[in-house]
Amino acid sequence: MGTFTSSRLSNPRQILVHDRTGCHADHADDGLQRHTTAAIGLLKAIFPPPSTSAAATTTTANSSCPSDVNSSSSSSPYSLDSLSGRIVKDVVVFDPRHYWDLVERLNLDIMEPPASQEIVYKEKGE
């Protein structure tokens, strides 16, 4: 008999796409005066969902507010016409009193820029 080969056996079945910034400590200043702030966090930014016409047509009857206030409050601040086009969905921020403990536990290299501080991927939000 011949050997059995399948593309499913040789190709990965899942592709992991990192949609969060890794844990990092932010830097302040530059050059010799650069120091790491006591802020360690995790961010996830997403594109906002498209606005529905039902949400945009909500009106209030016999309101004492002017009509322009009602119309501005019914529009979503996260519409597709926003300046950045993305909104922050998840933010995990830690207490600065635990800074050195977090640097050790998360294995952060604080001498690196924030984008490359994380040596080992620690988040389990995969």
- pLDDT mean by block of 10 residues, the chain; 126 residues: 63 63 71 69 67 47 42 51 62 77 82 71 48
Residue 49: inside a domain, yes or no? Answer: yes
Enclosing domain of residue 23: 14-116
- The whole-number pLDDT of residue 33 equals 75
Which residues on adjacent β-strands are paired with residue 97?
Answer: none
CB 122, CB 107: distance < 8 Å:
yes
- The whole-number pLDDT of residue 55 equals 45
Q: How many domains does the chain have?
A: 1
Residue 6: inside a domain, yes or no? Answer: no
Q: Is the pTM of this model over 0.75?
A: no
- The whole-number pLDDT of residue 67 equals 43
Residue 8: inside a domain, yes or no? Answer: no
CA 84-72-51 angle, 5° bins: 55
- The whole-number pLDDT of residue 13 equals 66
Residue 122: inside a domain, yes or no? Answer: no
Residue 5: inside a domain, yes or no? Answer: no
Which residues on adjacent β-strands are paired with residue 72?
Answer: none
- The whole-number pLDDT of residue 79 equals 54
Residue 125: inside a domain, yes or no? Answer: no
Give the residue among 36, 45, 27, 39 at the shortest CA–CA distance from 84: 45
- The whole-number pLDDT of residue 81 equals 55
Residue 9: inside a domain, yes or no? Answer: no
